[in-house]
Structure 1
Amino acid sequence: MLSTHPATADQALVRRLNTALIMDWLRRRGALSRAGLSAATGLNRSTVSSVIHDLLEEHLVREVGLQPSEGGRPGMLLELSPEGGCAVGVEIGVDFVSVVLTDFIAQVLWRKRIPSDPKDRQGIIVSRTEDLVQEALSIGTERGLRILGVGLGVPGLVDLQQGTLVFAPNLGWSDVPFRQMWTERFDAPVFVENEANAAALGEYYFGLARNVQTLVYLSAGVGLGGGIILNGRLFRGSSGYAGEVGHMTVDPNGELCGCGKRGCWETVVGPRAIVRRVRQALESGAESQIGTLVENDLSHIDVGVVVEAAQAGDLVAQTALEEIGVHLGIGISNLVNTFNPEMVVLGGALSLASPFLLPVVEETVREHALEQPREILRIAASAHGAEACVMGAIALVVDEILREPLL
């Protein structure tokens, strides 16, 4: 606990801030020498050396060899150490549970994904999830790694202060106090976040956006969520519920959304919208190989099937994805004009369909976004694919460690 003496408390705070700054530079840039860290952070050499001494003792950084030098004394390179500890990432989806165990630099040590039935009671799914988390923690302990924490990404509204899933319409769950339950059960810090926010953080820490400060992440599962990072921090809004971009109204008289409103953006660009367009085309008599792929059972059509057909040249599939791309691009244009991000990342089902969506999205954004904010914009598919959220759950733990170092 920090001393209550003002001078001592101020010194401890400065120490933590300096440590966090150094660790973040190592995260973003990889191996750096003490001199390199001093130049990058603006901290003097003695401060850097003192912080590095403590980080080495805690196994949060390691020395990896001498820096090549054209003259003078070569410096020792430092990087974040995988031996700093382990973290467990968890995603509870509508029809699956995914758990991964990683070391401190997000190298996966163990993973398991199991199907779940949306018809199962909440208690059954939570119990199965807890069994997987315990298995992961046991493996980490057996490897001699300290447990840094458990991160959880869920498709719904989250009370960040309490670590409670407030409402998840696609799961049919409400008021699930995950932090309270799991902190007591696992004796480890627990961090709970909306799945899109978690995925955005994962992309920022471990993916394409490692050196990006402003990012919009679009996560398409059953619906469409958004994670927004501004100036290197998750933007959660005044009550913690920011990022519900899928519920921007684009057509007041449009399709009924799962939220109970009409014409939400996710009703025209989400996975259900992709499938609905294809089904409508098939039901109207359009020729397509999709019927063969699903053995003429249209209820088996999903985004994966549509993408498979599009890759084989199926015009129904390609047309559906092109139409979705236009609506997606228009919505992204609004986000670009609002947040001026350096990057927009397509995740989940959008990532799977990105080879067909991206060209249309980019063209639509050029037509509809203002020229100045789009000049620096890059639109890309997530680096993590189906594991974007669960790796984001790992990022929740790492984010806490980097911002509040264990020193």
Structure 2
Amino acid sequence: MSTKYKRGSFQLMKSMNRSTILNMIREEGPISRADIAKETKLTPPTVSNIVKELISTQFVVETTQGMSKGGRKPTLLEINAEQFFTIGVDVGTTQMKFVITNLFGEIREFTTLEIPPYPAHEDILSIMKQGIHHLIKTNKESFDKFLGIGVGMHGIVDPEEGRSLFAPAFQLNDIPIKEVLESEFDMIVKVENDARAMTLGEYWFGHGNDADNMLGVNVGNGIGAGLMVKGRLFHGEHNLAGEIGHITIDLSGPKCTCGNYGCLQTLAAGPAIAERAKKELKAGRASLIHDLVDGDFEKVDGCMVYEAATQQDAFSIELLNQTGRYLGIGLTNLIHTINPKRMIIGGGVSGAGRFLMDGIEETIQSRGLTDKAKETSIVLSKLGEHASAIGACVLVLEEFFIRQD
């Protein structure tokens, strides 16, 4: 029998419709009522009434007094970050990550569950429910403080319906995530593609908060991207925007799971790194990896290549640099198509850091059309391995703290 949880706070805040002021306090706090009135063009009595409501719901607290400009010192307002929490789920290809964050996207607890090979619809939904129940039960004293659940799901997602339309790693279609989780937990549930969730997380709490036009690139077992245009995620006509892993880089390249040949992810995703390493090692290339796997090349994976690179293994450094060059070709195409202010690289492969970035930057420098294109800011994810899960939490926070244009 399902355990039900209260919607409470979400419905209350939606009815109050106070996101403008709440968001200003989040972004600029500690801030005074007078400064809020000045920046929003709302009357001081209106601001005072709304702030009173926000304090009564405990989303906002009064804090230390500000500098006086003559007369009484103003009391400042800030977000009560530990009063409410969100749950974020990142559905990868082999694992699901679950986090609890406060109102500033700071992780308060997390857990990871394995996804079995060839899962059915019921397996995916069951693992989601298991992980969420675990986090809620271990934080039952905060029971009424959960605002909702966000899910970042790999593949094609319909965020309006909250459904996974196609999860390529599982070869599953039409998973009703929102419907099932809202029924199970009686909370608001938001669903988005994992790369878009990562991008949203970086936009709010990472390296993207000064770039309204930006691209987040999630490089793991596959490659996806989230495109932010004027501070809003761009989905495209049929929710396909950002499937950059299937940009063709080499017409004669390896066959992709999508059926095409030479897709970017067949050359630069985690499994591609491992496959290239195995092929060259079997052909006799010298490398520290031989010792790491005791000659059993089937044990080789991307993490092992990175480990060898950190020990100055020339073969591994060259391999990761080449991976960066492949990524650089894909990113250069995107620079010429979208012209973002910043590109943020996340996902498991981004852990290769400088070994990867050298190849990316070298390729963009040689292929960029203009000097400005070559100067496009490219950085590694600030939020790291939990970026998509934190971004999934932001899907819920957006309902309260929507940035105003």
Structure 1 length as normaliser, TM-score?
Answer: 0.88
Distance 1:241 1:84, change over 3 A: farther
* 1:102-113 mapped onto 2 (5 Å cutoff): 102-113=101-112
Is 1:305 paired with 2:281?
no
The structure showing larger relative contact order (alpha-carbon pairs under 8 Å, at least 6 residues apart) is: 2
Bigger shift: 285-294 or 41-50?
A: 41-50
Distance 1:350 1:57, change over 3 A: same
- Contact in 1 for aligned 2:201/2:387 (Cα 8 Å): yes
Structure 2 length as normaliser, TM-score?
Answer: 0.89
- Contact in 1 for aligned 2:222/2:269 (Cα 8 Å): yes
* 2:238 paired residue number: 239
* 1:202 paired residue number: 201
- Contact in 1 for aligned 2:20/2:403 (Cα 8 Å): no
Residue type of the alignment partner of 1:114:
L
Distance 1:375 1:330, change over 3 A: closer
Bigger shift: 239-248 or 41-50?
A: 41-50
How far 1:31 sits from its partner (Å)? 2.5
SS at match of 1:77: strand
CA–CA distance in 1 between the matches of 2:259 and 2:33?
56
* 1:215 paired residue number: 214
Please list the CA deviations of residues 28-59 of structure 1 after superposition, one character each: whole Å capped at 9, or x if unmatched. Answer: 34432233334444545444333322222222
* 1:345 paired residue number: 344
SS at match of 2:61: strand
- Contact in 2 for aligned 1:340/1:373 (Cα 8 Å): no
CA–CA distance in 1 between the matches of 2:397 and 2:256?
35
SS at match of 1:250: coil
Is 1:329 paired with 2:328?
yes
* 1:274 paired residue number: 273
* 1:125-274 mapped onto 2 (5 Å cutoff): 125-143=124-142, 145-274=144-273
Please list the CA deviations of residues 168-188 of structure 1 after superposition, one character each: whole Å capped at 9, or x if unmatched. Answer: 111222111111111111111
* 1:66 paired residue number: 65
Distance 1:303 1:53, change over 3 A: same
Residue type of the alignment partner of 2:228:
I
Please list the CA deviations of residues 79-125 of structure 1 after superposition, one character each: whole Å capped at 9, or x if unmatched. Answer: 22224422111122222121112222223232111223224544234
Is 1:368 paired with 2:379?
no
- Contact in 1 for aligned 2:125/2:177 (Cα 8 Å): no
Report how many aligned residue pairs link the two structures.
392
- Contact in 1 for aligned 2:136/2:143 (Cα 8 Å): no
SS at match of 2:215: strand
SS at match of 1:171: coil
Please list the CA deviations of residues 172-208 of structure 1 after superposition, one character each: whole Å capped at 9, or x if unmatched. Answer: 2211111111111111111111110111111111212
Unaligned runs of 5+ in 1: 1-12
- Contact in 1 for aligned 2:98/2:111 (Cα 8 Å): yes
Query: Share of identical aligned residues, percent?
Result: 33
SS at match of 2:245: helix
